[in-house]
Amino acid sequence: ETGVTQSPTHLIKTRGQQVTLRCSSQSGHNTVSWYQQALGQGPQFIFQYYREEENGRGNFPPRFSGLQFPNYSSELNVNALELDDSALYLCASSLQAVYTEAFFGQGTRLTVV
Amino acid sequence: GESVGLHLPTLSVQEGDNSIINCAYSNSASDYFIWYKQESGKGPQFIIDIRSNMDKRQGQRVTVLLNKTVKHLSLQIAATQPGDSAVYFCAEKDSNYQLIWGAGTKLIIKP
């Protein structure tokens, strides 16, 4: 077990709705990254938070937003859900350094209908 | 932009044989590379990493080789077992501490 937990594990939403996904990072880690993984694809970087500030963002529209809290847990919010948002959403916690691996949670499977 | 890719989408290996999974990367400035294993329905699991100042690193039953001249990584799994069935990703960490991923190689173990 990595110590990174995500909730919920599965979720079904209707197009146009909003969703919030949650992640508890591993103890001692100050950086959280979120990824979207479509079926059969590699993870796509959404954004990263370091000490409660966003410090990197991938090619995702503004309706994807996030937060990091003082205890380094994090939320991913997606507004105006689209069918193509259906995917596995992964959270990874790490330290803000080059030579450190990221530890992943089990993911949240989001289905938009 | 820079990217990390994998040569083969699927690899079938006989149980007990060695597996070799390959990966090409394009950012010659990358300093750190990681191999992850992802089983169905689970998040990626760290396997082994290597820094750019090394060309080989060994773990338990796994070895990662780095060839900076041709920007190539490989993951070798010795005596492949049924539990090794998964999708394997290589990833590089960029200067912003973000991981850049390839599409993955699915490893299938034949009994």
DSSP string for A78-112: E-S--GGG-EEEEEEEE-SSTT---EE---EEEEE
Closest among A30, A13, A22 to A71, alpha carbons compared: A30
Strand partners, A47: A34, A57
Residue A8 — pLDDT band, cuts 50, 70, 90?
Answer: very high
Q: Picking from A68-72, B33-37, B88-92, B97-101, which range would have the lowest pLDDT averaged per residue?
A: B97-101
pLDDT at B109 exceeding the cut of 70: yes
Check if A9 contacts B (Cβ < 8 Å).
no
What's the pLDDT score for residue A92? 94
Region label for B68, one of left (φ > 0), alpha (ψ between -120 and 50) or beta (otherwise): alpha
Q: Which of B2, B98, B105, B106 would best serve as a mutation to test chain A binding (most A beta carbons within 10 A)?
A: B98
Region label for A3, one of left (φ > 0), alpha (ψ between -120 and 50) or beta (otherwise): left
What's the pLDDT score for residue B6? 44
**Portion 73-112 of A in contact with B at CB < 8 A:** 90, 92, 94, 96-99, 101-107, 109
Q: Which of A101, A103, A106 would best serve as a mutation to test chain B binding (most B beta carbons within 10 A)?
A: A101
What's the pLDDT score for residue B3? 46
- The rounded distance, in Å, linking the Cα atoms of B21 and A99 is 22
Query: A101–B31: do the CB atoms touch at under 8 Å?
Result: no
> Residues B10, B75: contact at Cβ < 8 Å?
no
